[in-house]
Amino acid sequence: MDLLDNLALGFSTASTIWNLGFCLIGVLLGTLIGVLPGIGATATIAMLLPLTFQIGDPVSSLIMLAGIYYGAQYGGSTTAILINMPGESSSAVTAIDGYQMARKGRAGAALAIAAIGSFFAGTVSTFLVAIFAPPLTAIALEFGAAEYFSLMIVGLVSAIALAHGSVVKALAMVVLGLLLGLVGTDVISGSPRFTLGIREYADGLNFVAVAVGVFGVAEILRNLENERTREVLMAKVSGLLPTREDFRAMAAPIVRGTAIGSILGILPGGGAILAAFASYTVEKRVSKNPEEFGKGAVAGVAGPESANNAGAQTSFIPMLTLGIPANPVMALMIGAMIIQGIVPGPNVASEQPALFWGIIASMWIGNLMLIVLNLPLIGLWVKLLTVPYYVLFPIIMAFCSIGVYSVNSNVFDLYAVALFGLLGYILTKLRCEPAPLLLGFVLGPLLEENLRRAMILSRGDPTTFITRPLSAALLAIAVAVLVVVLLPSVRKKRDEVFVEEEA
C-alpha cells in the first residue's frame, strides 16, 4: 500500500522530538494570536518568516508555520464567542450564536463545542488531504470564472438565511456590504473606485478592520450604555462542559460542516471563506427549531466551526499539489519554502516526500495537541469574562488596534475600525445585523471580478453561466435556496408532512 507507506513516512518525520516541539510551538502561538483580537495568522507568520532562516530545516519550519495557521483558526473562535470579536470571516459566523450562548452563561459549552467540532473536522480533512489530494486538485481546476461567479451567487442567496429577523433588513445589509466591497482598485481596468482619493484605500477596505469594527467595537459601545446589565449577565457563567443534549445536537452539524468545509476549502479562489457561511445556512434549513438560530443554537456554533477548520486544512491542497497559494497564509508558506530552497510546484509530493507527508501528518498531530491544550483552557477563558468590564474593554481596544495595524502597517485601517464601530453601533440600534453585511463585503469583489472575467472569457456571451455544466448546477442550487427562502409555506407544508408521517 502506497498510502500506508507514505503516511508512515509522514508520521515518522513529524513525530521526531524536534518536529513535535516545533508543532507545539506553532499551535501554542497560533492559539495565542487567535485569542488576541485582531492579530491574525498572516501578520504573525510574516513576522516569524526570518526565524525560518535560523531553524534551517524546511520541514520543521513549515510544520511550525502550519501549526500557527490552524492554531489561529481554533483560537479565533474564542474571541468571537467571548466578546463578539471575530478575527476572520469564518469566525464572524461563530460569533452569531456563540456570543449569544456566552450571554446566556454558556460560554464554556460554546468553546468546548467549537473545539470538539474543529478537532473532528481537522482529523477527517487531514485524511482527505492524504488520500484524495490529486483528484481533488483536478476538480478545483475545473472551476473557472463562470463557476466562481455562480458559487458566489449561492453564497449571497444563502446570506439571507444568516439573518434571524427581517429578510428586508438582511438584504439591505448584504447590499451595503457589496457596496463597501467595491471600494478599491478595479481589477479589470486598474482605476481606483470610491477611495475618496486616499491611496491607502487603493486595495480596498481591510477585512479585519471592518469585522472588528462592526462586530467588536459596536458591541463594546452597546455594552458601555449600561455597565450594570453586562456584569449581571456575566455573573451567571455556569457549566463549563457541554451537556448530553448538546452532544446530541452537535453531532450531525459537525459531520455536515466537515463535509461542506472540506469541499469548499479546495477551491483556491475564495471557496474557503464561504464554508462557515454555507454550513450555517444548511444547519438553519435542516434544523427542527430554526427560530433558535441567532439566540444561541448549538448547531450554529458546531457546524460553522467544523466547516471552517476543515476548509483551513483542505486549503493546503492547491499549495501541496500545484504550488499555488489559496490565500495569503499559503503565499507566506510558499515564501518560507523558497527561502529554504524548495520551490513548490506540481512535483513537490514526488520530489520531497518527507516534506509533503510530514506536513500532512503534522496537521493531525497538531489538531490533537490543540484539543488537549484547549479543553483545559476553557475554564481560564471563561474566567476572563468575570474581569470587570471597565478593565476589560480598554485592553480589548488596545489589542484590536495593534492587531489591525499589524496586518498592513496602515493607519487608515485604524480609522476604518473607528468608523465601522460607529456604523455597527447605529446598525445595532436599527436592529440590522452585521453578519450579512460582512458576507456581502467578502463576496462582493469576488462576485464582480468573476462576473466580468467570465464575460471577457466568453466574449460577452452571458449564456456561459448556463452552458457550463458546473456553473449551471450551482445556479440551480441558488434558485432552489431562493425558492425555499421566499416561500415560507413550502417549508411549513414540508414540516406538516413530516408530522403526519411520524404520527
Partner 1 sequence: MKKLLASLAVAASFAMATNAAVAQTYPDRTITVVVPFAAGGPTDTVTRLVAEAMSKDLGQQIVVENVGGAGGTLGAGRVASADPDGYTLLLHHIGMATSATLYRKLAYDTLGAFEYVGLVTEVPMTIVARKDLEPTDLKGLVEYAKANKDTVTVANAGIGAASHLCGMLFMSAIQTPLVTVPYKGTGPAMTDLLGGQVDIMCDQTTNTAKQITGGTIKAYAVTTPQRLEALPDLPTTDEAGLPGMQVGIWHGIYAPKGTPAEVTERLSKSLQVALKDSNVVARFAELGTAPSSEADATPAALKAKLESEIARWKPIIEAAGQYAD
The H or E element spanning position 184 is strand 184-185
Q: Does residue 328 interact with partner 1 by CB under 8 A? A: yes
Q: Does residue 461 interact with partner 1 by CB under 8 A? A: no
Helix residue ranges, H only, 1-83:
2-14, 17-35, 41-55, 58-83
Minimal CA–CA distance to 237: which of 417, 105, 383? 105
> Residue 314 CB, nearest distance to partner 1 (Å)?
15
Q: Does residue 56 interact with partner 1 by CB under 8 A? A: no
Cβ distance 358 to 10 under 8 Å?
yes
Q: Does residue 182 interact with partner 1 by CB under 8 A? A: no
Q: Does residue 103 interact with partner 1 by CB under 8 A? A: no
Question: Of 149 and 293, which CB lies nearer to partner 1 in the complex structure?
Answer: 149
Question: Of 457 and 487, which CB lies nearer to partner 1 in the complex structure?
Answer: 457
Q: Does residue 409 interact with partner 1 by CB under 8 A? A: yes
Binding mask 129-168 for partner 1 (x = CB under 8 A): -----------xxxxxx-----------------------
Exposed, middle or buried by CB within 10 Å (0-12, 13-18, 19+), for 13? buried
> Residue 16 CB, nearest distance to partner 1 (Å)?
25
Cβ distance 354 to 9 under 8 Å?
yes
**β-strand partners of 185:** 192
> Residue 269 CB, nearest distance to partner 1 (Å)?
6
Q: Which residues of 63-85 are buried (b: 16+ CB within 10 A; e: fewer)?
A: bbbbbbbbbbbbbbbbbbbbbbb
Q: Does residue 490 interact with partner 1 by CB under 8 A? A: no
> Amino acid letter at 315?
S
Question: Of 362 and 450, which CB lies nearer to partner 1 in the complex structure?
Answer: 450
Cα–chain-centroid distance for residue 158?
Answer: 16
Q: Does residue 190 interact with partner 1 by CB under 8 A? A: yes
Binding mask 258-287 for partner 1 (x = CB under 8 A): ----------xx------------------
145 vs 130: CA distance, rounded Å: 28
Three cell numbers at 247?
Answer: 452532544
Question: Of 292 and 449, which CB lies nearer to partner 1 in the complex structure?
Answer: 449
Give the DSSP per-residue string, 70-82. HHHHHHHHHHHHH
Q: Does residue 189 interact with partner 1 by CB under 8 A? A: yes
Minimal CA–CA distance to 332: which of 10, 13, 68? 68
Q: Does residue 333 interact with partner 1 by CB under 8 A? A: yes
Helix residue ranges, H only, 287-324:
298-314, 316-322
Residue from 51, 426, 457, 497 touching partner 1 (CB under 8 A): that is 457
Question: Of 234 and 319, which CB lies nearer to partner 1 in the complex structure?
Answer: 319
Q: Does residue 425 interact with partner 1 by CB under 8 A? A: no
214 vs 405: CA distance, rounded Å: 17
Question: Of 6 and 42, which CB lies nearer to partner 1 in the complex structure?
Answer: 42
Query: Within 13 Å, how many C-alpha atoms sit on residue 307's CB side?
Result: 34
Question: Of 340 and 374, which CB lies nearer to partner 1 in the complex structure?
Answer: 340
Residue from 32, 182, 221, 334 touching partner 1 (CB under 8 A): that is 334
Cβ distance 450 to 269 under 8 Å?
yes
> Residue 172 CB, nearest distance to partner 1 (Å)?
27
Cα–chain-centroid distance for residue 33?
Answer: 15
**Which range of residues in 174-182, 229-237, 288-296, 335-343 is near partner 1 by CB under 8 A?**
335-343
Contact residues toward partner 1 (CB under 8 A) are 42, 45-46, 49-50, 53, 140-145, 185, 187-192, 199-200, 202-203, 268-269, 318, 322-326, 328, 331-336, 338-339, 341, 343-347, 408-410, 449, 453, 456-457, 459
